[in-house]
Amino acid sequence: MTSPSRRQTLALGLGAGLAGLAGGPAAARGPDVDFTLILVNDIYRMGAVDGRGGFPKLAAVVKAERARAERGIGRPVLVCHAGDTLSPSLMSGIDKGRHIIELTNLIKPDVFVPGNHEFDFGQDIYLERMRAANFPVFAANLRRPDGTPVPGTSESTILTIGGIKLGVVGIALPETPAKSQSGDWTFGPAVATLAREATSLRAAGAEMVLAVCHTDRATDEALVASRHADIVLSGHDHDLALRYDGRTVFAESGHDAEYVTAIDVKAEGSGKALTWTAAFRIHDTAEIEPDPEVLAVVRRQEADLARELDVPLGRVTNALDTRIDAVRRSENAFGGLVADALRHAAEAEIGLMNGGGIRGNRTYPADAELTRRDVLTELPFGNTSVLVTITGAQVLAALENGFSEIGRSAGRFPQVSGITVTVDAAAPVGQRVVSVRVGDAPLDPARTYTVAANNFMLAGGNDYGMLAEGRTLVGATDGTLVANVVMSYIRANAPLTIETGRLIIR
């Protein structure tokens, strides 16, 4: 990513434009009553891509902000991490997020709220990783089945920063159990949890309330509208989004520390008479030199990853051909492997993979031992797995779209799992699918089916927008890397033979 998207630019402009609408300037009481919040969220990459993001550049931003405060130039700083980092990344598929904790410990956030991806490897790994963390973890709505807090996870606290008593509460994504592997832990409703904690914090003397949340945009809006918190910092949607209406601040910092948000708060008065204003600063990490200490750790980790990529996963008995024409014109064994892996990982009825997402452009002999590097070479885009429920009619529309350019090497050509499709290549576009069987039964246009695919397709890539017309169970920011899904499937099933005969083109 080389510049903010139009959506991000609009959000930036909105935030900057509203930053001054705080009811007029207040007489400052001095720098001892000011503080700065730094927000990062959804950071998966170790290093920069196209000059932006990654932990070394994030570390440089954080160290510079903290150094300004220590020299008396800036305000006291509170670094907040709004979650999603243990997964998904290629290295996390190997070490289950261990390297991320090492890197985050070098950042040492003051507040960390777990995102849904913190639970991708189950409860035991979550607890192990949080025990290794040197930063405090907050999630007021996270509970064990008996109603007690999860060990090592706090609900809220009151910090004195810049002379202000700031109540801090963490809110985890309520939908985490449906999107991750959190087991029997429960995630309470976001707004009700914030209402409870904010009331308690203010009763205990908090002059302002900060909610650090890993919640989707609709929940963010509800949290802001509730006015229980003065400042809502969020993650999950991967947007760079800022808003301040003179009463409540809202911010999200995009993803992967490409942009890091700083919020400067200036206050006057105290207790219930305290008034405050806020202003935003955006660190574009394309303009930041990486921190040398953290960069050295990242380079070591990247060398470790390079060695791990050559580890064999398992043997596939089929001969495999991932050349462009092979994956974009006809049924393909490797494409079937990817679709199978997506379907089985999501426990879906149907798996779909666009042929254009397979990029190795090579052949493998029968009984080849595939490595992690092979899979990553074939699936290089960093796409994530998604799960939707759509009608049989929408499944049919997706397939007709996939076969609309049959005879050409089109990226939309579908590789499938769980279904058998008969296609008439000579029929008009939109009428080429002769029959579809889901398992042993014919496709029912009125019935709802669970379909696993990738986030590119869900977003309308290759004109698969009909996948988003139903209900999204695992969305673009929730799934795991398709490459990791395939690696896990090979490891679990090798030696494996990929069944063919799913696409009958006549």
Q: Where are the domains of the chain?
A: 32-305, 313-505
If one looks up domain 313-505 in CATH, what number appears?
A: 3.90.780.10
Q: What is the DSSP string of 216-245?
A: -HHHHHHHHHHTS-SEEEEESS--EEEEE-
3-state DSSP percent of the chain in helix, strand and coil, to 5: 35, 30, 40
Give the span between the Cα atoms of 341 and 79, in whole angstroms.
39
Predicted model pTM: 0.85
Give the span between the Cα atoms of 333 and 311, in whole angstroms.
22
Give the span between the Cα atoms of 249 and 246, in whole angstroms.
8
Least confident of 69-73, 105-109, 118-122: 69-73
Task: Note the pLDDT tens digit of each residue in 388-412.
Answer: 999 999 999 999 999 999 999 999 9
- Topology of domain 32-305, per CATH? Purple Acid Phosphatase; chain A, domain 2 (3.60.21)
Give the span between the Cα atoms of 399 and 384, in whole angstroms.
21
As a residue count, the chain comes to 506
Task: Note the pLDDT tens digit of each residue in 122-160.
Answer: 999 999 999 999 999 999 999 999 999 999 999 999 999
Q: What are phi and psi of 58, to 5 degrees?
A: -60, -45
Alpha-carbon dihedral sign for residues 167, 173, 176, 177 = positive
Map tokens 């070479």 to a residue: 377
Strands (E), 101-163: 111-112, 137-138, 142-143, 153-154, 156-161
Alpha-carbon dihedral sign for residues 406, 408, 413, 416 = positive
The mean per-residue pLDDT over the stretch 341-367 comes to: 97
Task: Note the pLDDT tens digit of each residue in 9-49.
Answer: 223 333 332 222 223 333 334 444 489 999 999 999 999 99
